[in-house]
Amino acid sequence: MTVHTPIESRRRGIPGWALALTGVMFLAGAVFFATNLNGSNPPILGTPQPSGSGGGLNAVSIIKAAGCQACHGPDLAGQAAFPNLHGVKNGPTSENLQQLGKDHPDDWANLWIAGTDPAVAGIDRGGMPVFGGPPTNLSAEEIATVVEYLKTLP
C-alpha cells in the first residue's frame, strides 16, 4: 500500500501583483529587444580568451576543434609516425615537404594544411586530412591563424 501525501497550497489562483509584474517585465523586454536590434556578432572562434593572451588561444581553439592533437599529440610535439610541429618557423621538418618549403617559403604550411592547392596535389599526405575542404572546412583565415601560432612554438 502506498501513502499519498500531496503538498497542499493556501490559494489556487494567481495573485494580482504577480500578473501585473509579469506583464510589466515582458513589456520592458519587448521594448528593450525592439530598440536594441542594431549590432553584429563577432566570430566565435575569434573571441578573445580570458587569459588575455590574444590570438594564441584562438588558434588553440581551432586546433582543438579540428582534432590536430589526435595525431600530433596534445602538445603538438608529435607521436608515433606523426611529425613534431615545434620548430616549423624554420621551414618544414618532414622529408616529403622539403621541396614544397623551397617552392613556397612563405605559405607552404598554409598550402599543406589546406590540402586543396595544386601545389600539394602530388605529395603523399601520410594520413594527414585535407583541412581546407570537407569535412573540416577550415577557412583560409583560420588556417592562417593556426600557422601563425605554430610559428611561435619553440
Partner 1 sequence: MSPTSYHCSTPLGHAKGRAGIGQTFCVGYNAAGFAPSRPVPIDARLRTPMAVNPKKLRPYDQPPKVRRPILPREPDNGATAFLVAALVWFLTASGIGLLWVAYQLFPDQLTLHLEMPTISGVLTFELSPATTTSGFWNSLVYGWLGNAGLGAILFITPRLLGRRLATETAASAAAFLWNIGLIAGLVAIYVPQLAGSGALTEFPLPVAGVLLLALLLVNAAFWRTVLASADRLPYVSIWYFGVALLALLGLYGLISVAQLLSVVNVFSLSPAGMALANAFYGRALESLCLSGMAIGTLYYVIPRATANPLYSWGLAMLGWLVWLGLSTLAPLASLVDVSVPFAITQIGNVATFLLILPAFIVVANLLLSLSGRWTLVLSPGTVPFAVVALTFLAANALLEAIGSLGSVRALVGPTEWGTGVKLFALLGTATFAFLALADHAFPRLLRRDWGGTLLAEATLWAAFAGAAVAGLALIAGGVVHGSLLAQAATAEEINGFVFWFRLVLGAGIGLSALAAAVLALNVFLMYTIARPAEYAVVGEGAPVPAAQ
Measured in Å, how far apart are the chain's first and last C-alpha atoms?
72
* Interface with partner 1, residue 29, by CB under 8 A: yes
Q: Is 74 a binder of partner 1 (CB under 8 A)?
A: yes
127 binds partner 1 (CB under 8 A): no
Residue 152 binds partner 1 (CB under 8 A):
no
CB atoms near residue 59 (< 10 Å): 20
Task: Provide, rounded to whole angstroms, the least separation between the CB of residue 74 and partner 1.
Answer: 4
Cis ω on the peptide bond leading into residue 135 (within 30° of 0)? yes
Q: Determine which residue in the list 55, 58, 59, 67 makes contact with partner 1, applying CB under 8 A.
A: 67
Dihedral of CA 66/70/73/79: which sign?
Answer: negative
Question: How many C-alpha atoms does 66 have within 13 Å on its Cβ side?
Answer: 28
Among 58, 59, 62, 109, interactor with partner 1 by CB under 8 A: 62
Written as nine digits, the cell of 60 is 588553440
Q: How far is Cα 107 from Cα 96, in angstroms, rounded to an integer?
A: 16
Check residue 45 for interaction with partner 1 (CB under 8 A).
Answer: yes
Which is nearest to 58 in space by CA: 78, 42, 74?
42
Q: Does position 85 bind partner 1 by CB under 8 A? A: no
Check binding of 2 to partner 1 (CB under 8 A): yes
Min dist CB 107 to partner 1, Å, is 21
Q: Residues interacting with partner 1, by CB under 8 A?
A: 1-15, 18-19, 21-22, 25-26, 29, 32-33, 36-45, 47-54, 61-62, 64-67, 69-70, 73-75, 79-80, 134-138, 142
